Chains A and B, each alone.
Chain A
Amino acid sequence: EAGVAQSPRYKIIEKRQSVAFWCNPISGHATLYWYQQILGQGPKLLIQFQNNGVVDDSQLPKDRFSAERLKGVDSTLKIQPAKLEDSAVYLCASSVEGVANEKLFFGSGTQLSVL
Chain B
Amino acid sequence: AQKVTQAQTEISVVEKEDVTLDCVYETRDTTYYLFWYKQPPSGELVFLIRRNSFDEQNEISGRYSWNFQKSTSSFNFTITASQVVDSAVYFCAPVSGGYQKVTFGTGTKLQVIP
Contacts and interface: CB of A to CB of B under 8 A. Distances in A.
Interface in B30-50: 32-33, 35, 37, 42-47, 50
Contact of A104 (B32, B42, B97, B102): B102
B80 interface: no
Contacts of A66: none
Interface of A: 31, 33, 35, 41-45, 48, 50, 55-56, 89, 91, 93, 95, 98-109, 111
A99 B104 contact: no
Interface of B: 32-33, 35, 37, 42-47, 50, 52, 91, 95-107
Given A43-B104, A100-B32, A103-B50, A55 B99 contact: yes
Q: Is the interface of A mostly helix, strand, loop or mixed?
A: strand
12 contacts: A42-B106, A44-B104, A91-B45, A99-B98, A99-B100, A100-B32, A100-B96, A100-B99, A103-B47, A103-B50, A104-B47, A108-B43
Contacts of A41: 106-107
